[in-house]
Structure 1
Amino acid sequence: MTDSADIPHRHASHPKIIARLKRAEGHLSAVTRMIEAGSPCAEVAQQLQAVESAIRNAKRTLIHDHMDHCLDEGTLEEQRAELKKITRYL
C-alpha cells in the first residue's frame, strides 16, 4: 500500500498559485530591504499589506480548488470531515 504523502497531489491551479507565492516572496524580500533602508513606516505597511493579500489569495485559490476537485471522494461522512478540515484554514 502506498502512502498518500508519496503521491504527488497536483491541480491545474497549482502553477498559478506557485507564481503568486513567488511574487509574494519577492515582495517580502523587498519589504525587508525597505525596513533595513529606513523607509517610511506607511510605505512598509502598504507593501506588507500587498504581501499578505497575495498569500491570502493563493491560500483561498488552493482551498477552493481542493473543494472543487477533492471532496467528491469517499463517503458523505468522509467528505464532511475533509470539508471541515480544509475550511478551518479560511
Structure 2
Amino acid sequence: MNHCDDNNINPNMVPRTEKEIENLIKRLKRIEGQVRGIQKMVEDNRYCVDILVQISAINAALNKVGFNLLERHTNHCVSKAIREGNGEESIQELMNVIKQFSK
C-alpha cells in the first residue's frame, strides 16, 4: 500500500509500513475499547474517581499514540523534506502541530 499515490497526500510524506499501520490500529482499537468501558461505567453509575482514573489512562494512551506519530513524522517526513530542500516549511508545520498537540 503506497500512501504517496494519493493526490491528497503531502509530497514530503514517507508512507508508513504495514507493521506501523497495524500497530497504530491496534493501539487505537484498544483505546476505543477503553472509551466504551467508560461509557458502561457511566451507565452503571460508577464512582466518579474510578471513571476519572480511566479517563486519565485513555489520555495517556492517546498521548502515547500522538508522540509516536510525532516522532515518526520528524524522523521520516521532516527529515525527507530537509534533505530535499523543503525543510523550512516542514519544520514550521511540525512546530504548529506540536503547539496544537500540546494544548
Gap runs ≥5 in structure 2 = 1-5
* 1:5 corresponds to which of 9, 34, 49: 9
User: 1:86 deviation in Å?
Assistant: 2.8
Aligned residues: 89
User: 1:62 deviation in Å?
Assistant: 0.7
Which residue of structure 1 aligns with residue 63 of structure 2? Answer: 56
Matches for 1:25-40 after TM superposition, within 5 Å: 25-40=32-47
What amino acid is aligned across from residue 21 of structure 1 in structure 2?
A: L
2:74/2:94 contact within 8 Å kept? yes
* 2:86 corresponds to which of 70, 75, 85: 75
1:18 aligns with 2:29: no
TM-score (norm 2): 0.71
**Greater mean deviation of Cα atoms: 75-84 or 60-69:** 75-84
TM-score (norm 1): 0.80
**Identity across the alignment (%):** 25
* 2:97 corresponds to which of 74, 86, 90: 86
> RMSD of aligned C-alpha atoms?
2.5
Describe the shift of the 1:80–1:5 C-alpha distance in structure 2 as closer, same or farther (beyond 3 A): closer
